[in-house]
Structure 1
Amino acid sequence: MISKLSVQLRSLSERHPGFTIQVDGFNFFGPSTGPRVTYLSVTKNMLLERLQKDVSAAVTAVTGLPSKDRFVPHITIAKKRKTDERLALSSDLFDPYPVSVDNFHLFQIHPHNTPKYEPIETFPLGRPD
């Protein structure tokens, strides 16, 4: 399946231009006292959304698995800690900071290793708009 998926992703990456996202805040998934994920939020971006929809469709076409369609663009900065210590986090917005996007990766997950995520292929995006 990986080789079929790679072919699909390579083809679609060539059709999508590179783009810039705006990192605009700090937030988390889960309760503020013990979030599962802490992340930097990203301003809504149509080019990113189109790329995500096409990647999701390619994965569904190759694997037969349905899309969960719950995409929240973000940059993970921390995952759940192995402690019961309580935190006092709050979400925060800040002046947008531009970040160029010129490729994406296919990762293999190793749940019991560190690091957990191994990039196995990189897909360069087509020319910027």
Structure 2
Amino acid sequence: MPRHSLLREAGMMIRAFVALILPDEVCDQLAGLQAELPAGRIVPRENLHVTLAFIGRQPEPLLAELDLTLAAIAAPALSLRIEGVGGFGPGPRPRSIHAVLRPDPALDGLRRKVENAARGLGIALPARRFVPHVTLARPRAGRVDPPRLERALAAAMDFRLGPFTVHAFALYQSLPGREGPVYEVLASYPLGRDGAAPIPC
């Protein structure tokens, strides 16, 4: 994968995922929503994304092959909407809080193409139902008042955003950081035009 200097070292293992690149104005509005959530660890604005496939730890040569396969995907630009918030986990103590994306056939089609590209290279993907979302926060046990969080989530249920257009998706690297993971784009791919020339990172 010659387009990114992080992948120059042969044999390097990289924790990776594929996700939509959200427009700046969407990230700005989601950051405003985050400010209303008493939820402990807030996801940094630059980490906001919509996961299409979790690739896991893979050797650099395999990710280089995946890059070429993803670059061959042709799919339309996506018109998406966010409708409220949700949580993964039990009751008033969810392990994560997210913005809910309205189901969209084109989004689901892109996800299937990405998954097929990965599986075609022998990458085992987690068997989980696709729930399109943008993770906003990960509450920390003992540091969040459940009733206060429950009230904030109830108020945020009316949050609406869109339609907005997504023009690209990307192969990301996940790096450990002191305050949580740091995500870096390894390569990005355009939506909404024929061909598959990658967008320079």
In the alignment, the residues of structure 2 paired with residue 86 and residue 52 of structure 1 have an alpha-carbon distance, to the nearest angstrom, of 36
1:28 touches 1:37 (CA, 8 Å); kept in 2?
yes
In the alignment, the residues of structure 1 paired with residue 114 and residue 188 of structure 2 have an alpha-carbon distance, to the nearest angstrom, of 13
Asked whether 1:97 is paired with 2:162, we answer yes
Aligned to 1:126: 192
Asked whether 1:9 is paired with 2:75, we answer no
In the alignment, the residues of structure 1 paired with residue 126 and residue 144 of structure 2 have an alpha-carbon distance, to the nearest angstrom, of 35
More relative contact order in 1 or in 2 (CA 8 Å, sep 6+)?
1
Aligned to 1:75: 134
**Percent identity among equivalent residues?**
28
Unaligned runs of 5+ residues in structure 1 are none
In the alignment, the residues of structure 1 paired with residue 191 and residue 162 of structure 2 have an alpha-carbon distance, to the nearest angstrom, of 21
Aligned to 2:81: 22
Scaled by the length of structure 2, what TM-score is found?
Answer: 0.55
Q: 1:52 aligns with which of 86, 90, 111?
A: 111
Most deviating of 79-88 and 20-29: 79-88
Give the 3-state SS of the residue equivalent to 2:121 in structure 1. Answer: helix
Unaligned runs of 5+ residues in structure 2 are 1-61, 195-201
What amino acid does structure 1 have at the position aligned with 2:193?
R
Asked whether 1:108 is paired with 2:173, we answer yes
- CA shift for structure 1 position 8: 0.6
- CA shift for structure 1 position 76: 1.4
What amino acid does structure 1 have at the position aligned with 2:163?
P
2:85 touches 2:100 (CA, 8 Å); kept in 1?
yes
Give the 3-state SS of the residue equivalent to 2:93 in structure 1. Answer: coil
May I ask how many residue pairs the two structures share in their alignment? Answer: 126
2:81 touches 2:160 (CA, 8 Å); kept in 1?
no
